[in-house]
Amino acid sequence: MSQPPGVPPDVPPDIPLEGLYGDLIMDHYRRPHNRVPLDVADIEAEEFNPFCGDRTILQLKLDGQGKVSGVSARSEGCSIIQAATSMLSDVLQGKSLCEVTELGERFRDSMYDRAPGNVDDTEGLGDLLALQVVRRYPVRIKCALLPLTALEEGIKAYRAKAH
């Protein structure tokens, strides 16, 4: 498999990523967002896939109204996990935990092609929509969803601790 245009030869090929979505994924992979760890986080979660070595660590800080006011998102592994972690971190800022949960459900549905297909189902997903190209490689969907799984587990633990 040859490298997509613009990918340095020392970056191992992952899956064929071409066009706008491929460029967007590779941009987040090469220059991930929100990587600085938070000094204080209300929600922290880490997920690891022992089969491939993918790892993601998410931290969220909530403001007085329960909205996300700070995000740290770090990952290691394939280009998909790294891009997905970066993309997810971008769409969380300013959202309540209910909005984050709803957004996560829409993202998961879009990855499994379960969304009814209207604009409302993908609204707010931002760059995460580029990951739909991964649906052509079903085994790689787990890579794209690992940061979401970490986020869901972190929110679950936070809510359990708060009650």
Please calculate the CA angle 147-125-27 and round it to the nearest 5 degrees. Answer: 70
Q: Which residues of 29-56 are buried (b: 16+ CB within 10 A; e: fewer)?
A: beebbbeeebeebbbbbebebeeeebbb
Rounded Cα distance, 42 and 7, in Å: 37
Question: Which pLDDT score, from 0 to 100, does residue 123 have?
Answer: 80
Domain covering 19-162 in this structure, CATH number: 3.90.1010.10
**Quick one: pLDDT at residue 116?**
59
Q: What is the pLDDT of residue 7?
A: 47
Q: Residue 113 — left, alpha, or beta (φ > 0 → left; ψ -120 to 50 → alpha)?
A: left
> What is the C-alpha to C-alpha distance for residues 59 and 98, in angstroms, rounded to an integer?
17
Residue 10 is predicted with a pLDDT of 53
Rounded-to-integer distance, Cα 85 and Cα 56, Å: 7
- Planar angle of CA 35, 16, 126, nearest 5 degrees: 45
Q: What is the pLDDT of residue 142?
A: 93
Annotated domain spans of the chain: 19-162
pLDDT in tens, the chain (163 residues): 344 445 455 554 455 566 546 889 999 999 999 999 999 999 999 999 999 899 999 999 999 999 999 999 999 999 999 999 999 999 999 999 999 999 999 999 989 877 555 555 778 899 999 998 888 888 889 999 999 999 999 999 999 998 7
pLDDT of 157: 97
